[in-house]
A and B are shown apart, each in its own frame.
Chain A
Amino acid sequence: MAILEVKGVNKRFGGLLALDDVNLSVVENSIHAVIGPNGAGKSTLLNCFVGKLLPDSGTIMFNNHSLLGLPPYRINQVGISRVFQTPEVFLDLTILENVMIPALAHRDGAFHLAPFKSLSREHDIREQAERILGSVGLLEDRHHLASAMSRGNKRRLEMAMCLVQKPKLLLLDEPTAGMSRADTNNTIDLLKTISEDHEITFVVIEHDMTVVFSLADRISVMSQGHVIVEDHPDNIKGHPKVKEAYLGTTETA
């Protein structure tokens, strides 16, 4: 059963065809990786999922509802959360507040006005946030400002911010980019635990092959705006088209 169905998506930036007839089908509760060399169109595709970019043509269906033209906050409200390539958190807020905000947005919707309600009365929200922070190992520091965190911890925090919303689909844009080997392994473990504990579908964009092959249930390989192969990891490794895309064995203009 496909939770995310992408059909014939095109996106052109001036003279560059960034996405050229992209088709993708993500199975529910699986980890689906999208790989490909730089400039293959992976991030463009992801930006189309979350409403940052509008495709020129094609359809993107989530649980049989079209996502096209919806603003980012609406797409989040239907159950799609996103982790950014460089961690995007609220630097001037405490770690706990960072997680309470998505929890509130999940409970109250995109706009809910209660200007005189005291935050200290929101026990449920606070408990939810603290439980999630415990599971990513940030509970101790919850009253610190997010700006004081390391990059690896910011990534964890961002993950917690997504998880507290119980998303159906979690989009990860290069979750280990710029990380040390140890941090990368920690992130892999974290993602594995999350996918075992929660009923979440993942779409992971990644450069790091170790990450991809140790996590993914299914892999799509992109090159120059196309999805050239979509298959099980074992069949991807030796695939001639993939080698060609990465190593460029044949001359291309």
Chain B
Amino acid sequence: MLKTTDNKDRLMMIVFTVAVLAAPVILAPFGAGYPDLMQRFAIYGIFAIGFNLLFGLTGYLSFGHAAFLGVGSYAAVWMLKLLSVNIIPAIIFAVVISGLFALLIGYVSLRRSGIYFAILTLAFAQMSYNLAYSVLTPITNGETGLQMDLGDPRILDAATAPGQLPPPSLFGLEMGDTHYLSFMGLDLQFNVGFYVCAAILILMFYISLRIFRSPFGMLLRAIKSNQTRLNFTGVHTRPYALVVFVISGMYAGLAGALLVCMDPLAGPERMQWTASGEVVLMTIMGGAGTLIGPVLGACIIKYFENIFSRVNDVIVGNWFSGLPDSVGDFLSAIVSPFLGSGWQMSLGLIFMLVIIFLPGGLMEGVTRLLGWLGRLFRSRNNDDDADAPQSRKPPPDQRSSRPASPKES
């Protein structure tokens, strides 16, 4: 069984990699194939993967994860300002700083569990937000937000381009560079920034997979299941929880740094509690404790935020233009509150439906669908039906079924 798990993981990794690299092609028909949005998919995917390592495995619900995102962003902008526009030092510095920050917050917050832990992390995040907004203005530039300007020292590369403000780059490859291609009537956009994010997303997904499949990951799941038992089994649970909290914070810091690399601006609103709530939503919607779920959830929420929010009354009116006026008006009156600025209404509706009917998130739906297809397939073939074990993992005899495919990533 463990052998087949290994093989399935390999297949999942390959499918995921291909899907992510082909995202500009896959997403173009949905109107989501433009660089800005695809970068967001990848970056918030990383954020959610990291959050899921903490929440999905240990069950510790952090309600202040945006603080690490914000800290990562500020750290990255400072590196761009002080050192060079190369994104490598910015990313490394951001990950280190957010890791240290997570160590501090985690050390205090993990003394409590459940709702008290959530409240503690929320309090820390709001504190960070307010500090960034006012007290720490010299570092964060307050509500204006921190950005690069011509007066920056940029020790390593200011001399090479005097009097200019070059965009962030990776050894000369500018993040904003995009290659356009027209293919079967679709306008495809291959963007450097997206591919940087995509490569990092794939790496981060792989690291998360390894943690899930390690003894460490198993102990983390045991923390969620029965922490008392684990303590009486000879395991000191708190340091394990702290390690995963720090890893999770570093993922968030990395995501924050990437946001800055794509658009070199960091503001305090990135740390606000709504941003922390968003990543909780992404993870639960996609499926907490699953590997692909968080990425899926991140994509869906960012898709809603960017696509649904752009649909305005005129567009809705066009949809129903073929119908008689009274019917068309009636339909637009029903539909339009859920679109445009009301996009959060439809997101909320979908979230409720998912929680009620698929408590395991969208990935539960995918697993159920695959199981159903598998049973259909087997009964057609009249094979010997070896009983699927009641394990939470998909039964090992579904070798034919593809692992949950990350189509939307």
Q: Mark A83-123, 1 if CB is under 8 A from B, else 0.
A: 01000111111100100111011101111011111111010
**Chain A nearest CB, measured from B206 CB (Å):** 10
Q: Which of B3, B207, B222, B236 contacts A110 (CB 8 A)?
A: B236
Whether a CB of chain B sits under 8 angstroms from the CB of A143 is yes
A117 to B237, CA, bound (A): 19
C-alpha gap A117/B211 in the complex (Å): 8
Contacts of A81 in B (CB 8 A): 232
Provide the bound-state CA to CA distance between A109 and B233, in Å. Answer: 10
Beta-carbon contact of A90 and B210 below 8 Å? no
Residue on B nearest A167 in the bound complex, by CB:
B234
Closest Cβ–Cβ distance, residue A139 to chain B (whole Å): 13
Could you say which residues of chain B place their CB within 8 Å of the CB of A97?
Answer: 218, 221-222
B257 → A minimal CB distance (Å): 22
Residue B6 is within 8 A (CB to CB) of chain A in the complex: yes
Main secondary structure of the interface of B (DSSP, over half): helix
Q: In the complex, which of the residues A82, A90, A116, A143 contacts B211, with contact meaning CB atoms closer than 8 Å?
A: A116
Q: Is A233 an interface position by the 8 A CB rule?
A: no
B247 — which chain A residues lie within 8 A by C-beta?
Answer: 115
Interface centre among B211, B218, B221 (most CB of A within 10 A): B218
Interface stretch, picked from A71-79, A193-201, A219-227, is: A71-79
Residues of B within 8 A of A119 (CB): 2, 213-215, 217-218
Residues from chain A with Cβ under 8 Å of B2 in the complex:
119-120, 126
In the bound complex, do residue A92 and residue B216 qualify as a contact, i.e. CB atoms below 8 Å apart? no
**Contact of A165 with B234 in the complex, beta carbons under 8 Å:** yes
Whether A101 and B233, one on each chain, are in contact in the complex, defined by CB atoms closer than 8 angstroms, is yes
**B224, CB-defined interface residue at 8 Å:** yes
**Given A72-B231, A116-B210, A119-B2, residue A101 in contact with residue B222 (CB < 8 A):** yes
* Known contacts A90-B225, A115-B210, A145-B392, A82 near B232 by CB under 8 Å: yes
**B240 within 8 Å of A (CB atoms):** yes
Docked Cα-Cα span, A239 to B234, in Å, equals 40
Whether a CB of chain B sits under 8 angstroms from the CB of A12 is no
Pairwise interchain contact B213-A101, C-beta atoms closer than 8 A: no
Residue A148 at the chain B interface, CB threshold 8 Å: yes
Known pairs A72-B231, A115-B211; A92 contacts B392 (CB<8 A): yes
User: CB of B219 within 8 A of chain A?
Assistant: yes
Q: Is the CB of A117 within 8 A of B232?
A: no
Q: Which of B5, B215, B391 contacts A117 (CB 8 A)?
A: B215
Residue of A nearest to B229 (CB): A88
- A111 engages B239 (CB within 8 Å): yes
Give chain B residues whose Cβ lies under 8 Å from the Cβ of A108: 215
Alpha-carbon gap, A125 to B2, bound state (A): 13
Q: Is A50 an interface residue (CB 8 A)?
A: yes
CB pair A143–B391 under 8 Å, yes or no, is: yes
Give A120-153 as 1s and 0s: 1 = Cβ < 8 Å from B's Cβ atoms: 1010011000000000000000011100100000
Please give me the residue from chain A that is nearest to B240 by CB atom.
Answer: A111
How far in angstroms is the closest Cβ of chain B from A40? Answer: 23
Return chain A residues, CB-CB under 8 Å to B401.
Answer: none
What is the CB-to-nearest-CB distance from B183 to chain A, in angstroms, rounded to a whole number? 39
Indicate whether A144 sits within 8 Å of B390 (C-beta atoms), given known contacts A77-B234, A91-B225, A92-B221: yes
A203 within 8 A of B: no
> Chain A residues with Cβ under 8 A from B237's Cβ?
73
* Bound Cα distance from A88 to B222, whole angstroms: 12
* CB neighbours of B27 from chain A (8 A): none
Q: Which of chain B's residues has its CB closest to A123's CB?
A: B2
Asked if B358 lies at the interface with its beta carbon under 8 angstroms from chain A, I say no
14 contacts between A and B (CB under 8 A): A81-B232, A90-B229, A91-B226, A97-B222, A100-B218, A110-B234, A111-B236, A115-B214, A115-B217, A115-B247, A120-B2, A122-B215, A143-B391, A145-B390
Mark A residues whose CB is within 8 Å of B.
50, 71-73, 76-77, 81-82, 84, 88-94, 97, 100-102, 104-106, 108-111, 113-120, 122, 125-126, 143-145, 148, 161, 165
The 7 closest A-B pairs by CB, nearest first: A76-B234, A120-B2, A105-B234, A110-B236, A90-B225, A92-B225, A88-B229
Q: Give me 5 other A-B pairs in contact (C-beta within 8 A), A101-B230, A104-B218, A144-B391 excluded.
A: A88-B232, A115-B217, A120-B213, A148-B390, A161-B233
